Amino acid sequence: MQIKDKVVVVTGAASGIGKALCERFAREGAKAIVLSDIDQAGIDTVAASLAPISATLAVRCDVGREDDVKELVRQAIARFRQIDLFCSNAGIFTAGDETVSNAQWQTIWDINVMAHIYAARAVLPAMLERGEGYLLNTSSAAGLLSQVGSAPYSVTKHAAIGFAEWLSITYGNRGIKVSVLCPQAVRTKMTAVGDGDGGVAGLDGMLEPEQLAETVVATLAEERFLVLPHPEVLTYMRRKTDDYDRWLGGMRRLHEKFQDIYRRRQQ
């Protein structure tokens, strides 16, 4: 997909990855960018900065609520007639193990998994009717590998990739393209906690959101499934599948090295 002249929706657009994607899409010549976030003031500011380049619409949306996602899509279509690319990008991090409270598990599940499902339910009917459309779902390298220090994050990001795979398999022959964004550490509010180095995810370096956005645009142009701003992740995936037990042993060593950092983040 070429972004030029396309209508794009981005969730989590007030800051970090979402903001960088909106800015990059505008430079690519997007016809319109619909920004959503729970931070209305934040998306209003970003939308105003992009208005000289692309048409914009800022819609407050809690992606963990299906009615909010439906309303986001309704407003986008009402204003711009269609959605060419929906970037389901909003996400949260919760540190902890299996003892994390049910309420916290439900919250991260709703935002990191159900939000992708709500988006697909809302946008697919019109896309399938046209015979074209693109879904970009933000997951994480944690969804391909794992996340030391966070069972909820690891589980939900794996689920997000599983759903994206299913979408591609099910609708790929009906004109629907699907990509899943799987970065390691990116300099955002999420990675600013603790020591601000991204923890174990920062071992291969911390990317700026703008760098990630460049990889996204290039991958969308090639219409590849995996968007890997950190190319090392592909090597780690191959090692994992080549010898699962050896990989698990290595991950246990990383767990021992970083467990104190993640304990502090839970406090």
Q: What CATH number has the domain bearing residue 177?
A: 3.40.50.720
Instruction: Tell me whether residue 118 is one of the annotated catalytic residues.
Output: no
Question: What pLDDT sits at residue 191?
Answer: 59
pTM attached to this predicted model:
0.91
Kindly state whether residue 232 falls inside one of the protein's structural domains. Answer: yes
| Residue 261 binned pLDDT confidence (cut-offs 50, 70, 90) | low
Kindly state whether residue 1 falls inside one of the protein's structural domains. Answer: no
Kindly state whether residue 66 falls inside one of the protein's structural domains. Answer: yes
Domain that holds residue 30: 7-266
Kindly state whether residue 204 falls inside one of the protein's structural domains. Answer: yes
Kindly state whether residue 36 falls inside one of the protein's structural domains. Answer: yes
pLDDT tens figures, 165-192: 999 999 999 999 999 999 998 887 765 5
CB-side neighbour CA atoms (13 Å) of 26? 24
Kindly state whether residue 195 falls inside one of the protein's structural domains. Answer: yes
Number of domain units in the chain: 1
Q: Which of 103, 111, 145 is nearest to 235 (CA)?
A: 145
Kindly state whether residue 2 falls inside one of the protein's structural domains. Answer: no
Q: Which of 24, 18, 38 is nearest to 86 (CA)?
A: 18
Question: What pLDDT sits at residue 187?
Answer: 84
CA distance 125 to 159: 23
What is the mean pLDDT of the segment spanning 67-95?
A: 97
Residue tagged active-site, from 118, 153, 171, 236: 153
Q: Which of 48, 56, 59, 68 is nearest to 30 (CA)?
A: 56
Question: What pLDDT sits at residue 205?
Answer: 74
